Amino acid sequence: MFELWKKKSVKENIHAMMPAWGIVLATLVVSTLAMEFAFTSGWQAIWKTLFRFLRLSALLTLPLFLLPKVCSLLEGFFNRGSRQLIQVEQERDLSIRPLKNWILRPLQGIGVSLLIATKLLGFLEIYAGSRVTLETLLPSGHFNPERLLSVTAIAILVSLLLSFLWALDDLGVRYHNRKTQEVRMIGRYIGLLLPIFFGFYGLINLFEEHSRLLAAQYIAQMVVVLYPPFVVLNVLHARYLARYEEILLKRLKMTTGVTIIDRKEMATSGI
């Protein structure tokens, strides 16, 4: 992982993360000079915003070290019986694209995070027997160990889940049924709109004692907070795959010579 920050790649990484820097800078300017924004205000917003950005970025990217282990643990779920994982060379794409890495995948990450947070808060409501309020979820001005542990757990879970699915998609790994010759995508169809819709709608429902407008404003600020770290995750994820592709494919137990040149050839040859 540390090779990703060698001198030759630092400039490329900085350029690839430009949307994240832009949002962080805008947050600093607005919250410091204009008004309370993204749960910070005044000159303290400088260090609070930067620290929060670095902390969330670290929580999302450090689990990449575990990606080979995750591949080893999950490959058995796919490679059994007449089913196996194959690599479709034409669909292998390790490049960083603005639409995919700056818009779609960060939004996907935010949606999944909010969806998991909604389920967690709903569980806490049942467990505690009391209504969850804004103060339970939103950042506060003092240290809260319960909130820190919750955010850490959600970030690690989301990172592991999406990193694995994105890796399958970017490496061109597909799910192949040798009996029916059916090839399915795995990572791409986790869904983009549904996690976002249910995540946002669920959080709004948790704030029934507040106006929908106020709840929407807070959720919008949460998106601003989460977007830069997810851009960082996307960029470093792409760099990680480019460097450790061979290791990941071995952990997924990709059979040698199963890289498919043409789906029509695959169907006729009975691979």
Give the Cα separation of 139 and 40 in Å (integer): 9
Q: Residue 163: what pLDDT?
A: 93
Q: 30 near 37, Cβ under 8 Å?
A: yes
Beta carbons within 8 Å of 106's beta carbon, 6+ residues apart:
226, 227, 230, 231, 234
Number of domains in the chain: 1
pLDDT at residue number 42: 78
**Spatial separation of the C-alpha atoms in residues 82 and 62, rounded to whole Å:** 35
DSSP string, 117-165: HHHHHHHHHHHHTS---HHHHS--SS--HHHHHHHHHHHHHHHHHHHHH
> Can you give the pLDDT at residue 255?
58
The one-letter code for the residue type at 35 is: M
Whole-number Å distance between alpha carbons of 60 and 56: 6
The reported pLDDT for the residue numbered 265 is 45
The 10s digit of each residue's pLDDT in 233-255 is: 999 999 999 999 999 999 998 75
What residues of the chain score a pLDDT lower than 70? 1-8, 121-144, 186-210, 212, 255-271
pLDDT in tens, 206-230: 566 567 677 777 778 888 899 999 9
CB 151 within 8 A of CB 58: no
Looking at residue 221, what is its pLDDT?
84
Model pLDDT, residue 76: 85
- Tell me how far apart the alpha carbons of residues 108 and 94 are, in angstroms, rounded to a whole number: 18
**How far is Cα 216 from Cα 27, in angstroms, rounded to an integer?**
18
Q: Can you give the residue range of the structural domain that contains 213?
A: 2-269
Q: How confident is the model at residue 160, as a pLDDT?
A: 94
Instruction: List the one residue out of 260, 72, 91 whose CA is nearest residue 181.
Output: 260
- Number of Cα atoms under 13 Å in the Cβ half of residue 177: 7
The phi, psi pair for 177, rounded to 5°, reads: -100, 110
HSE of 190, CA atoms in CB hemisphere, 13 A: 21
**The residue type at 44:** Q
What is the Cα–Cα distance from 68 to 52, expressed in whole angstroms?
Answer: 28
Three-state secondary-structure class, residue 44: helix
